[in-house]
Amino acid sequence: MALLNEHFLKLKAGYLFPEIARRVRAFCEAHPDVAPRLIRCGIGDVTEPLPPAAIAAMHRAVDELAARETFHGYGPEQGYEWLRATIAEHDFRARGCEVADDEIFVSDGTKCDMGNILDIFGAKNKIAIPDPVYPVYVDTNVMAGHTGPANAAGAYAGLVYLPCRPANGFVPEPPKRHVDLIYLCSPNNPTGAVATREQLEAWVRYALEHRAVILFDAAYEAYIRDPALPHSIYEIPGARECAIEFRSFSKNGGFTGVRCAYAVVPKTVNGHTRAGVAHPLHPLWLRRMTTKFNGVSYITQRGAEALYTPEGKAQVRALIEHYMGNATVLREGLQKAGLRVFGGVNAPYLWVKTPRGLSSWDAFDKILREANVVVTPGAGFGARGEGYFRLSAFNSRANAEEVARRLQAMRW
C-alpha cells in the first residue's frame, strides 16, 4: 500500500487560477454568445510579444545548438556563469548592493523557487505569511506539513498571518511574537503595495534579532516607479545576513511562457541546527539545485542575458510602460465607477474593495456576468482578501480601455 502525503488533503479546493479557469469555462459553455467578448484580467499573465533582443538571442542560441562545434548539452545546474555575472552586476552591484556572481541561482520560475526553498528549512519553523498574498507561500507550506488544518475562513493552524489592510497600507509590520521564517512580497501580489525603506529596515532588524530568515519575493520589482522605494532587500544594511531574494524574468521580459527566474542566496545567511549551530544556507541550496534540477535551457538563458543589453533594457522599459499605462487607465476607470482602489502605481495589480459588502466571489460572478470581464477574487489570496478583487494590468491597451468602460457601465 503506497501511503500518500496526507498534508495535500488539507488544501482548500483547487489552486486559485485553475479554479477561476474552471468557472470561466463553465460560464462560456452556458453563454456561448458572450464568450467572444470575454476579457481576462484574472491571472497576471503577460500579453505582449517578447522583446526583440531576447528573440534574436534565442534564435542565435538555437543555431549554435545546430552545429557540433557550438553545441551545448547539460549546463551548470545553478545557471551559466555569464548569466549569473550579468544579473549580479546589473540588478545588484550597479545599484550599490553587494551580491557575488555565485550567489545567483538561475531557475525556471519564482513560483518553483518559492516552493522548493522549503527543502532546505526544517519542519518546526514558525512561519509568518502576509494575508492576503500570493497563495503559493501558504499552499507549499501546507504540502510540506508545516501547518495544521484550515478553518472555515481558509486560515491554516500553525501559521502566523500578518494582516495587510488599508490601515497599514497593505504592508505588514513585524509581529510581536517570535517567528523563524518570514515571507515578504514587494511590490505585492495582489495588493500592489510596495514596502518603503523604513518598513524593510524594521523587518531586517526583526530578522536579525530573532535569527529568522526573510524570503523576499521581488518578482514585480521592475514596476517600481517611485525612486524612493527600494527594489531589493539588499539595499537595507544587514539583509545579507538574513534574506534570500527571488526575482523573475516573467513580468519584466514577458517570460511567463519561456520560464526563467533566479534566487539570490548570500553566503552570509545562516540557518541553525536544532542544537543552535549556525550553518550557511548557500551550500544547502547549491546541493539541492545540483541534485534535483538540471538547469534552465541554454536558449532561455541566452534570451534572459539579452534583456540586459542596452536594446534589451529599452525594450523591457517599453513593456513596463505599456502595462503601467493600462494600470492608469484601469485605476481611473475604477475610480470613476465609484470604487475604492489601491495599487496600480508601482505594481501591475489593482486591488479593489467590493461595494456594498459583496463577497469577493460574488463580485467575481457579477463582473463576469454583467461586464464579461474576468477578475481574481480577493479571498483566493487569503482570508483577509475577502471583500476585495484584483484586476491585472497585463493586457492590450484596447482591452484595458474597454474594461474601464464596462466597469463604469455596471450597476454597482
- Which residues are at the interface with ligand MLT (CB under 6 A)? 43-45, 111, 134, 189
Nearer to ligand MLT, 45 or 241 (CB): 45
Q: Which residue is nearest to ligand MLT (CB)?
A: 44
C-alpha to C-alpha distance for 139 and 263, rounded to whole angstroms: 20
Nearer to ligand MLT, 43 or 150 (CB): 43
* Residue 271 burial (CB count, 10 A): 18
Nearer to ligand MLT, 43 or 208 (CB): 43
CB of residue 188 to ligand MLT, shortest distance in Å = 11
> What's the order of all strands across the beta sheet hosting 376-377?
341-343, 349-353, 388-392, 376-377
CA atoms 32, 33, 39, 41: torsion sign = negative
Q: Which H/E stretch holds residue 18?
A: helix 16-30
CB of residue 406 to ligand MLT, shortest distance in Å = 20
For residues 221 and 187, the answer to whether their CB atoms sit within 8 Å is yes
Nearest 10 degrees: Cα torsion 249, 253, 259, 263: -10
CB of residue 24 to ligand MLT, shortest distance in Å = 14
Label the pairing between strands 349-353 and 341-343: antiparallel
341 three-state secondary structure: strand
Nearer to ligand MLT, 111 or 384 (CB): 111
For residues 91 and 247, the answer to whether their CB atoms sit within 8 Å is yes
Nearer to ligand MLT, 133 or 181 (CB): 133
CB of residue 293 to ligand MLT, shortest distance in Å = 18
CB of residue 180 to ligand MLT, shortest distance in Å = 25
Residue of 122, 116, 161, 160 lying closest to 140 (CA atoms): 116
Nearer to ligand MLT, 45 or 362 (CB): 45
Residues in Cβ contact with 107 at an 8 Å cutoff, skipping those fewer than 6 apart: 79, 113, 116, 260, 261, 262, 263, 289, 293, 296
Nearer to ligand MLT, 40 or 231 (CB): 40
96 three-state secondary structure: coil
CB of residue 155 to ligand MLT, shortest distance in Å = 20
CB of residue 385 to ligand MLT, shortest distance in Å = 12
